[in-house]
Each structure stands twice: as structure tokens, then as C-alpha cells.
Amino acid sequence: DIQMTQSPSSLSASVGDRVTITCRASQGISSWLAWYQQKPEKAPKSLIYAASSLQSGVPSRFSGSGSGTEFTLTISSLQPEDFATYYCQQYNSYPPTFGPGTKVNIK
């Protein structure tokens, strides 16, 4: 199975900050990477697919980049509703696997 790692595991940021989360795959996955946002006690919400394509309805302050084994999720200007845990997921190879998550806290 492809192992996914994320860094940092948590971060503290203020409203308006630019936030970057990194996701790494244990082997190349081309651009078959998704990002999800999960708020406490809620279901995950899809944000980005194919490494950089924004899911319909997702604000443009979210962006993704990368290919191969290293990927980033960037929030250009953090908003109060963005405080959540973010997961990456590879869907290049079966079985699909998720990263351990990055929790974005209020500073």
C-alpha cells in the first residue's frame, strides 16, 4: 500500500494568514491526489482533486499543487471557517490511502 504522510501534524495560524500543508506519498502517484477538510463531528468535505483542481463550490483561496510524491495545499488567506483538519488521499493505486491529517488551530 502507498503510505501518505503530512506535515505539520498541526499548526496555529491567525485569520488572514497564508497556510501551507505538505503531503508526501511513499511512491509516485502522478497527480492522483485529493484534499479533504473535516470539521469536528462532521463528515469530510472534498476540496481538491487531481492535485490542483478545485471541487465545485470551494472558495478560490484554496489551491493545490504538486505531482509525483510531493504535494501542497495552500490557503491564501485563512478565514474563521477554515479552522479544521485537512487530509490528503492518493487514488493512484489500490487501495486508496489517506494521510494522517493536519489540524489547523486558531492562534
Partner 1 sequence: EVQLLESGGGLVQPGGSLKLSCAASGFTFSSYAMSWVRQAPGKGLEWVSIISGNAGSTYYADSVKGRFTISRDNSKNTVCLQMNSLRAEDTAVYYCAKHWASGTYYFDYWGQGALVTVSS
Distance CA 44, CA 41 (A): 10
Among 89, 103, 104, 107, binds partner 1 (CB under 8 A): 89
Residue 98 near residue 86 (C-beta atoms within 8 A): no
Count of C-beta atoms within a 10 Å radius of residue 61: 14
Q: Which is nearer to partner 1, 17 or 91 (CB)?
A: 91
Q: Which is nearer to partner 1, 16 or 43 (CB)?
A: 43
Q: Using the rule CB under 8 A, is 94 a contact of partner 1?
A: yes
What residues from 14 to 73 belong to the interface with partner 1 (CB under 8 A)? 32, 34, 36, 42-46, 49-50, 55
Report the candidate in 22, 14, 3 with the shortest Cα–Cα distance to residue 86.
Answer: 22
Stretch that binds partner 1, among 18-26, 62-70, 73-81, 94-102 (CB under 8 A): 94-102
Phi and psi angles of residue 79, each rounded to the nearest 5 degrees, phi first: -110, 160
Q: Which is nearer to partner 1, 16 or 94 (CB)?
A: 94
Coarse DSSP helix, strand, coil percentages of the chain, rounded to the nearest 5 percent = 5, 50, 50
Site residues (vs partner 1, CB under 8 A): 32, 34, 36, 42-46, 49-50, 55, 87, 89, 91, 94-101
